[in-house]
Homo-oligomer: A and B are copies of this chain.
Amino acid sequence: MPALTALSEAFGLGIDYDVFDWGADQWLATGTGLPPGAIDRLARDYGAVFLGALGDPRIPDMAHGRDILLGLRKGLDLYVNHRPIVLEHGVIDLYRENTQGLYAGVGGSITRSGTVTVAIDECVYTRETVERFVRFCLARLRRRGHRKVTLVHKSNAVPNTGTLWQDVFRRELEAFPELTGSEEYVDSFCYHLVRDPTPYEGVLASNLFGDIISDIGAALMGGLGLAASASICPESDFALFEPVHGSAPDIAGKGTANPYAAAMSLGLLLDHFGHADAAALLRSCVTETAGGEAATPDLGGKGGTQQFMDQVMTLLEQKL
């Protein structure tokens, strides 16, 4: 990551990194995404993970992606997933709960003569999990200067978890008089987000709803190639940074994958470590590149992944 090295040296950030090759090839060779002991080692020796995009057409249902991503999120208890939706009018800060809900991994199937006859996936939330998430996010939103926060839920049809979320949201909000809360059904929220996202500032969502909303947000931003994401455990301060998108297997080998979201995720990493200046500089170089000739085709440019990052480096060197 030459950009990270250059910024670290210029700003004296002292950020060092190692590269782990935990991709589709390892999965195909060993059947595991995260090697044994990976979680402990990361937690002990590192402060953050910067993750490339996952997804490989050789592996059905992204089994390796699920194993690695969900393994890291749960294993490192990265319960806050921040996915900024950057729009012309401003930024909507979407926070997605990252450990429970339908992603809790609770459920199973009843099989008769080798055929599944009943399948169950449980959406599970504990009050403690919702509380720590909501509390952290409200504090974050206040710090970021927001005035409004929307809880996305579906308590009219999915009542048990829905009303738990509503109850926690209302109680926790009492400690934040600066914030005005509102609540919206997920279907209605998606409708309004597509029609006119401008009224939204902060948005809190459970795991699955956050997953869907972040993709709609990416569509509004102009493409999945633009959506960055940070997963944080506030207690340990460990964090994971990654683009929201997958590995774009449809354009594999063409060298045209847009590195914007990955570069912006690096910006979130710099922010996380308290290096706001370096993050701002990186962001300005990435934005400038995205608007120019070196941008990838999906952004209307003539470049590829390499030209894009070369141009970011050129700009960085000029401005450092």
A3 interfacial by beta-carbon distance below 8 Å: no
Per the 8 Å Cβ criterion, residues 264-308 of A in contact with B are none
> In the complex, A208 Cα to B156 Cα: how many Å?
12
Asked if A31 is an interface residue, CB under 8 A from chain B, the answer is no
Q: Does A176 contact B (CB under 8 A)?
A: no
Using A103-B157, A154-B208 as known contacts, say yes or no to A163 and B195 having CB atoms under 8 A apart. Answer: no
Number of this chain's copies in the assembly equals 2
Is A66's CB within 8 Å of the partner chain B?
yes
CB distance from A245 to the nearest CB of B (A): 9
Nearest residue, chain B, Cβ from A193:
B219
A48 close to B (CB within 8 Å)? no
Determine if A194 and B194 form an interchain contact, defined as CB atoms under 8 angstroms apart.
yes
Complex: A204 Cα to B77 Cα, angstroms: 34
**A116 an interface residue at 8 Å Cβ cutoff?**
yes
Interface size for A (C-beta < 8 A) is 56
Instruction: Please determine whether A161 and B119 come into contact, CB atoms closer than 8 angstroms.
Output: yes
Say yes or no: B155 contacts A61, CB within 8 Å. Answer: yes
Chain B residues within an 8 Å CB radius of A215: 187-188, 190-191
Shortest distance from the beta carbon of A212 to any chain B beta carbon, whole Å: 5
Contacts of A116 in B (CB 8 A): 127, 160, 163-164, 167
Question: Is there contact, CB below 8 Å, between A61 and B127?
Answer: no
CB contact list, A187-229 vs B, under 8 A: 187-188, 190-192, 194-195, 208, 211-212, 214-216, 218-220, 223-224
- Kindly identify, within residues 81 to 134 of chain A, every residue whose CB is under 8 Å from any CB belonging to chain B: 102-103, 107-109, 115-128
| CB-based contact A157/B208 at 8 Å | yes
Q: Tell me if A191 and B163 are in contact (CB < 8 A).
A: no
Taken together as a complex, chains A and B put the C-alpha atoms of A119 and B160 apart, in Å, by 5
Measured CA separation A103–B219 after assembly (Å):
28
Determine if A251 is an interface residue (Cβ-Cβ < 8 Å): no
